Amino acid sequence: MKTYKNYIWDFDGTLYDSYPVLTYYAIKMFRHYNINASDKEIEDYLKVSFSTLAKRYNLTDEQMKYVRDLKANDEHFLDKVKPFKEIFEVLKKIHKAGGKNFLFTHSDKEHSVVLLERDGIDKLFDGYVTSDMQLKPKPSPDGINYICRTYNLDKSETVMVGDRMIDVNSGINANVDTILFDSEERVKDKGYTFKITNLSSIAQPFDELNLSNTK
- Cα separation, 135 vs 203, whole angstroms: 30
Comparing 209 with 11, which gets the higher pLDDT?
11
Mean pLDDT computed over 80-85: 94
Domain endpoint, select from 40, 63, 80: 80
Residue 209 pLDDT: 57
Residue 204 has pLDDT above 70, yes or no: yes
Range of the domain at 170: 6-17+83-207
DSSP assignment letter at 199: T
Do 105 and 174 share a domain, yes or no? Answer: yes
pLDDT digits (tens, 9 = 90+) for 181-203: 999 888 888 899 999 999 999 98
* Mean model confidence pLDDT for the chain: 92
Residue 214 pLDDT: 37
Do 173 and 187 share a domain, yes or no? Answer: yes
Domain endpoint, select from 38, 62, 80: 80
CATH number, domain of 171, equals 3.40.50.1000
Asked whether residue 63 is domain-assigned, the answer is yes
Do 55 and 150 share a domain, yes or no? Answer: no
Parallel, antiparallel or unpaired: strands 100-104 and 6-9: parallel
Residue 212 has pLDDT above 90, yes or no: no
Do 12 and 34 share a domain, yes or no? Answer: no
Residue 1 pLDDT: 80
Angle (nearest 5°) at CA 119 between 24 and 132: 65
pTM of the predicted structure, to 2 decimals:
0.88
Question: If phi over 0 gives left and psi between -120 and 50 gives alpha, with beta otherwise, what is residue 23?
Answer: alpha
Give the whole-number percent of the chain exceeding pLDDT 70. 96
